[in-house]
Every structure is written in structure tokens, then in C-alpha cells.
Amino acid sequence: MLPTIMERRGGWSWVVALVIGTGIVNVTGCAMDPPKPVSTVTPEQVKSNADKSFEKLKQEEKNRTVGSGAASY
């Protein structure tokens, strides 16, 4: 089937043109994607989140020891 198509279309030139065209469409399509914003977290936000998580963890541990009647370590 491919040889018959090649005879009608003029050999490999159409295949090469198709491959080049597909490559150009792929490159320009990928290049047009907008850059994704980078999320920036400041050191203060990290410290604040860590402090909140630590306080929550301490509260959960305190509630667990009070509820079970076990002594804290």
C-alpha cells in the first residue's frame, strides 16, 4: 500500500514534509504553554506552619494522655 501511495504522491518528499510539519506543530504548541507560577513560601510562613502543627500535636498528645489515664513520659 505504501509504494502505491508513494507513486501517486511523488516519492518520499511528502513523507519528509509531513514529518517536518508535525515537528514544527509540536514545537510551537509546547512553546506556547504559559509558564506555571512558582509557589514561594517565605521562611516566616514555614516557621508559622511548623509552630501551629507542633502546638496541635502537643494538644492531641495531651488529650490522649488525659483520656487514657496514662502518665506522660
What's the average model confidence in pLDDT over 7-20? 69
Task: Give the per-residue pLDDT at 47.
Answer: 96
Q: Is the pLDDT of residue 6 over 70?
A: no
Task: Give the per-residue pLDDT at 28.
Answer: 67
Cell of 16: 519528509
Reported as half-sphere exposure (CB side, CA atoms, 13 A), residue 45 has a value of: 4
Task: Give the per-residue pLDDT at 16.
Answer: 75
Q: For residue 58, what are the CA distances in angstroms to 18, 51, 72, 73? A: 65, 11, 12, 13
Task: Give the per-residue pLDDT at 57.
Answer: 95
> Tell me: the pLDDT tens digits for 22-64?
877 766 666 666 777 888 889 999 999 999 999 999 999 999 8
d(C-alpha 55, C-alpha 49), whole Å: 10
Q: Could you write out the DSSP letters of every residue in 27-54?
A: HHHHHTSPPPPPP---HHHHHHHHHHHH
